[in-house]
Amino acid sequence: MNAVCKTPRVHRSDLLEHSNRPELLQLMFQPVNYGMFGFDTRAVALGAFLISHGSLDIEDDPYVKRLKQSPLSEEKLQAAIENGDTYCSKQLKRFLSRCFHICEELGPWATDYFMSESIKRLRNSVSDQSIMMDWDEAEKAYLARFLSSIPIPDIRLDFPANEYPLVSPKLERLIQFLDEKYHPDFSGLIFVKQRATVSAMVKVLEVHPLMKDRFRCAAFVGYSSSGNRKEALGDLHDVRCQRDTLSEFRSGHRNLIISTDVLEEGIDISACSVVVCYDKPPNLKSFIQRRGRARQKKSTYAIMLTGDDETSHVDRWQELEKAMVQAYLDEERQPELSDDYEEVNERFLIESTGALLTADTAMAHLHHFCSTLPSQPYADTRPIFSLERSDQTEARKGTVILPSCVHPAVRCIQGKNWWRSDKAALKETAFQAYKALYEFGLLNDNLLPLSQKPELQTQIIADLPAVVDVSEQYDPWVDLAHSWSSPDIHQHRITVRQNRVLMEDLSMALTVPALLPALGPLTLFWDKENTFTLSFATAKRVPVTSESIQQLRAATAMYLQATKRPVAKMANDFVALFGPDIPESELENWLSTNAGSDPALDVYSLRNDNPLSMGIVRDQMRYNKPLIFKRWLVSEQDVSIVELECDPFPRRRNLLSRQTLAGDLDNGIDGDDAPTPRVRIVSAHQCTIDKLPFSQSIFGSFISSIIETLEVALIATKLCNTILESVHFSSIRHVITAITAPSACAETDYQRYEFFGDSVLKFTVSCQLFFQHPNWHEGYLSENRDQIVQNPRLARAALDAGLDAFIINRRFAPRKWSAPLISERIKATCTQRKMSTKVLADVVEALIGAAYVDSGMETAQTVIRRFLPSVDLATLDTESIQRQSRPEASHLMNRKLPEHVGHHFDNESLLVEALTHPSCDYDPTTQSYQRLEFLGDAVLDIIVVTALSKHALEIPQGEMTMIKAACVNANLLAFFCMDFTISSPTTDVAETTTNKFEITPVEQHFALWNFLRCRDQVLELNRDASLSRYSVLRTQIAEALLSDSDYPWLLLSQINAEKFFSDIIESILGAIFVDSNGDLSACESFVEKIGLLPYLRRVLDDRVNVVHPKNAAQRMAKLNVLFDVKRVKAGCETGEDGDDEVDSDDVAGIRYRCSATLNSVQVAVEEGLSREEAEVRAANSVVALLRERS
């Protein structure tokens, strides 16, 4: 960059004599105006693409779907949906732009070819993993699927001599020129703007009848983007194919190269006879360098211009060239330059990486660092430089102030030396500032920002697929089966009690070879009327003999077969043994008394009419199908004809589930108020009756449920005794809930606890990062938190800990169930199962939530520490963050503010920081509120979640999610910020009728936003506009919050409050949390005081409907309704989906228009000041329409 341009002066005439300057031609063409379509409609594929792209649904984008599964991506998701800011969306827009460019530059045939070839290559890449290997597979498949749906005409490559492909007027003029200039020794170079145009033009010239036999074309582009594999959509040229292009051109094998500006300089290329600028050169440098390629004698340098272009452009370039020649012929130029040049020799080397910072590179590095800082409306993230001049020597010293989100310790940096020139002073200042950033821990050892670098990650997590192979569900019966080899026999007494008291309590005994965990009461749902409660007494160690074990096995087999069709031969080496609760010495007699069955006529002769003491009736004509005895039926004409009236045995087997009762019509036990069941009449001659009374045989139906419940308890106990040994749960039922996946279809699953755990984890990690890295700005904090709580990291932590074996996802299937046998379990082998990584991550969060519900925050954080050892909040010295310099009292502006907030600040600088907007650049000693807002966001979440967890009713997870979203909604927080005022006494001076002044005391009211420290005129204008809307809507919103049965989505959206209003609430919460050393109760007092907690209690107690109108409309329409929002101005669309934030010059008249489409028919169009308002209005219209139709 420091090269000096020289030219000979003594022998300059000889130089000019042997230099061949080409003939300069202007190739004029007349562009076509395509009217409203904006492109040549003969490009069929482009038209189809434009229509399909307009109807694309952002909700189907893989990035949007991925954000919906992420626990901390609400803002990113909203931004992606609003702005279409996804990778696939950007690729399609870029591809569409390229297609338009090619259509305009080259014509319809080239456009169709370009699109066809691009789609074909993308489709091939889906199956070829080596192509575009950096692409996300879901994104690649999504793009391929969408583009493959576009109808592409067959691309014709063979044209007869009198028929040409459809080309643009511009390309037609170029072809005419090349046809005129062709000769056997022709060598030419064509410069174009875009890489995509290169490949398409080469193909056109290769198939055009006038060109294909005379011109041997090649493409040549730059290598700079070859490493960016994700830009491959629409890039048809493989740079690996151009390795020999230049050598082939020199040898004459190729005679025409189409290239971008890469061949302007720096590459050795032979002199050409023709050089064509397909577009005007962008500057004088390009004009001269391209002309320099046409160095043959009688060469031509052509520039393509439209018919309305003025020739003065070329004349101006020639005049500028003459001035340049005169400049470098000037011998006095170099001394003048040397006066302004001052060398800055600052160097900073990182030996471990070899990274070097110099004064020449520091300025660019500093601007790059500032560009990575979190952006905020109304805040400039560029560094601000200033110069101090010495009165005596005219020397300069620089100072730089960085954006307000940077820590005050390194925000304002002054240069160390005085310099003669401004340039040197600024260089040295930038160097000192960037060096200070590294020393403060804001740069890595490569002297780059930490963003998206390993320094921001406590552990590098390899990407996990969506579904992984994990261990099979832990089988506790394997351990118990092995325990029979050296048993420690324990017996549990089980008491069975019926709710309707139709049968006496039944006592049974469960015998196992080891101590089992304590089990709470178990309720079994026999039918709609009858339930049984099983109570488990404390286990007792009992001595047993091998003979009694065999007897218990026989008793267990008897119970298992009592309610089923008998099996000819059944293995009886059961792991768990069941029997009557009687002394061991009476077992043999009990077995002989109750084993087997009697003919029904023999039982009838004993005149036993009690259904409970009667055994199961078996119809021999129906393969011994079990029936429940009701009464005897004797014919009045012939007393020898005896029949039995029976009820069929209930088909239900899953007695654990209340849900399966919904369609059950069977009634297992007779009762006065029971509905009449289907009755079976069978002849006593074809029946037998079991000796085991029904009051005991019914216990056989309970065994599968007991075993299933016991298995789940054993899994949870094993987990608590191994992986979670350091966590002391007071109740194992919380652990059971946390490890039970929804796919198990059990009475409980982890979803509710996962909701709690998600917020607890977010809160804990936020606190950890905030206190552990006081030097990090909010951008680093947010990015690192996302890295820690992301699903792949939690899933990896679960796999590393071995948690996968303890996740219960197997559904209880009683009809396929069989009692665990010793002989089978001791032969069990290790197998694997498929499991979603999301389930693994969810269970980790559910265990955190279970610990929180069980014993509070400290226990939950112990679980977090078990799976994420780096998150250890207990080891941090949180009090050190408060040891900061106290500001002057005037910073607070009103001494009653802390009192009004409801917290006495020991460190008032925290409150000052909480009220410092990022636009506040006049106080370099105070950081902006972004760090505290980051922390306050997590604090607010945990406060709301705590209230939800303590509510008397157990609220489902889905409903809790909606309630939380409604209560932490930015518009609601903004309303509370505007509505929360402080009264301060002051005086009012007024002139009386007697020309005297009267002083009267008055009360002046201030809101929290009045204390916000900011400096931006646009911010103040937008703030006042928000406050005006608030003043109009305030009464309606207050009444709605107080008494309405629906959440006021529309009213709140109409305020269209600026984001900083809600940020103030969260930043103050963060300040209170830090100042109180993590006391959540102090934060709850503030949330109570602003009115959020009272409203949350009303939502819970009065069951306020918080469903968003858009979700309600989609639910009513069964997802067949689509909402499309566009930004409009003065009744006209201004373009595609826009941001809520617009330039200050464009604010006036900006509105948003939302159209709702139901089953492809537009049913509503609404407008609003914000995207949210327009969408809510449209959704309300759809809901009203659907209600009218129903």
Mean pLDDT: which of 18-27, 520-529, 716-725 is highest? Answer: 716-725
The amino acid sitting at 1130 is A
pLDDT for position 985: 67
pLDDT for position 344: 83
From the CB of residue 879, how many other CB atoms can be counted at a distance below 10 Å?
A: 11
Q: For residue 20, is pLDDT > 70?
A: no
Residues 552, 441: Cα–Cα separation, whole Å: 70
Same fold, 347-456 and 897-1107: no
Strand (E) positions, 224-336? 256-259, 274-277, 300-306
What are 883-917's pLDDT values in tens digits? Answer: 554 444 445 556 678 888 889 988 888 999 999 99
pLDDT for position 2: 47
Residues 777, 784: Cα–Cα separation, whole Å: 11
Contact 472, 832 (CB under 8 A): yes
Partner residues linked to 29 by β-bridges? 306
Q: For residue 998, is pLDDT > 60?
A: no
Does residue 394 come out as left (phi exceeding 0), alpha (psi in the -120 to 50 range) or beta?
A: left
pLDDT for position 987: 52
What are 155-166's pLDDT values in tens digits? Answer: 888 888 888 999
If you average pLDDT over every residue of the chain, what do you get?
84
Q: Which of residues 612 and 400 earns the better pLDDT score? A: 400
What predicted TM-score, i.e. pTM, was given to this entire model? 0.71
Which residue stretches of 980-1121 are H helix? 1017-1043, 1049-1055, 1059-1075, 1080-1090, 1092-1101, 1109-1116
Mean pLDDT: which of 222-226, 279-283, 578-582, 1004-1008 is highest? Answer: 578-582
Tokens 């709470």 identify what position?
Answer: 520
Does residue 841 come out as left (phi exceeding 0), alpha (psi in the -120 to 50 range) or beta?
A: alpha
Confidence label for 738 from pLDDT (cuts 50, 70 and 90): very high
HSE, CB side, 13 Å, CA atoms: give it for residue 1117.
26
Confidence label for 988 from pLDDT (cuts 50, 70 and 90): low
Which range among 7-16, 50-59, 404-413, 496-505 shows the weakest confidence by mean pLDDT? 7-16
Residues 808, 816: Cα–Cα separation, whole Å: 18
Burial class of residue 774 in the structure, from the number of CB atoms within 10 Å of its CB (0-12 exposed, 13-18 middle, 19+ buried)? middle
Q: For residue 383, is pLDDT > 80?
A: yes
pLDDT for position 639: 77
What topology does CATH give the domain 1110-1189? Double Stranded RNA Binding Domain (3.30.160)
Architecture of domain 722-876: Orthogonal Bundle (1.10)
What are 760-799's pLDDT values in tens digits? Answer: 999 999 999 999 999 999 999 999 999 999 999 999 999 9
Residues 411, 419: Cα–Cα separation, whole Å: 22
The amino acid sitting at 218 is A
Confidence label for 1102 from pLDDT (cuts 50, 70 and 90): very high
What are 167-200's pLDDT values in tens digits? Answer: 999 999 999 999 999 998 899 999 998 888 999 9
Q: For residue 235, is pLDDT > 70?
A: yes
What are 537-571's pLDDT values in tens digits? Answer: 999 999 888 899 999 999 999 999 888 877 657 78
Which range among 282-286, 688-692, 851-855, 1135-1139 shows the weakest confidence by mean pLDDT? 1135-1139
Rounded average pLDDT over 743-757: 94
Q: What one-character-per-residue DSSP string does 654-679 give?
A: -TT-SGGGTT-----S--TTSPP---
Helix (H, G, I), strand (E, B) or coil at 29: strand
The amino acid sitting at 380 is D
Contact 122, 146 (CB under 8 A): no
Our measurement of the distance from residue 372's CA atom to the centroid of its chain's CA atoms, rounded to an integer in Å, reads: 21
Residues 213, 204: Cα–Cα separation, whole Å: 13
What topology does CATH give the domain 897-1107? Ribonuclease iii, N-terminal Endonuclease Domain; Chain A (1.10.1520)
Tokens 């071995």 identify what position?
Answer: 802
Element counts in the chain: helices (H) and strands (E): 41, 31
Rounded average pLDDT over 34-43: 71
Contact 190, 259 (CB under 8 A): yes
pLDDT for position 885: 44
Q: For residue 129, is pLDDT > 90?
A: no
From the CB of residue 628, how many other CB atoms can be counted at a distance below 10 Å?
A: 24
pLDDT for position 243: 74
Q: What one-character-per-residue DSSP string does 486-547 give?
A: S---EEEEEEEEETT--S--EEEEEEESSPPPP---EEEE-SSS-EEEEEEPPPEE----HH
Q: For residue 619, is pLDDT > 60?
A: yes
Q: For residue 351, is pLDDT > 70?
A: yes
Which range among 29-38, 506-515, 1019-1028 shows the weakest confidence by mean pLDDT? 29-38
Tokens of 944: 């709301």
Q: For residue 73, is pLDDT > 70?
A: no
What are 1033-1091's pLDDT values in tens digits? Answer: 999 999 999 999 999 999 999 999 999 999 999 999 999 999 999 999 999 999 999 99
Q: For residue 412, is pLDDT > 70?
A: yes
Which range among 460-464, 919-923, 1130-1134 shows the weakest confidence by mean pLDDT? 1130-1134
Which range among 475-489, 577-591, 613-627, 750-764 shows the weakest confidence by mean pLDDT? 613-627
What are 296-308's pLDDT values in tens digits? Answer: 778 898 999 887 7
Residues 369, 443: Cα–Cα separation, whole Å: 9
Residues ≥6 apart with Cβ < 8 Å to 806: 473, 474, 715, 716, 718, 719, 723, 739
Q: Residue 1129: in which H helix or E strand, if any?
A: strand 1121-1129
Rounded average pLDDT over 1015-1026: 87
Tell me the domain boundaries of the chain: 20-153+160-327, 347-456, 594-700, 722-876, 897-1107, 1110-1189
What topology does CATH give the domain 20-153+160-327? Rossmann fold (3.40.50)
Rounded average pLDDT over 59-82: 75
Residues 834, 467: Cα–Cα separation, whole Å: 6
Q: Which of residues 739 and 1128 earns the better pLDDT score? A: 739
Q: What's the CATH number for 347-456?
A: 3.30.160.20
Least Cα distance to 823 among 570, 558, 634, 614 occurs for 570
The CA distances from residue 959 to 130, 1105, 1107, 1179, in Å, are: 45, 10, 9, 20
Residues ≥6 apart with Cβ < 8 Å to 781: 766, 769, 770, 773, 931, 934
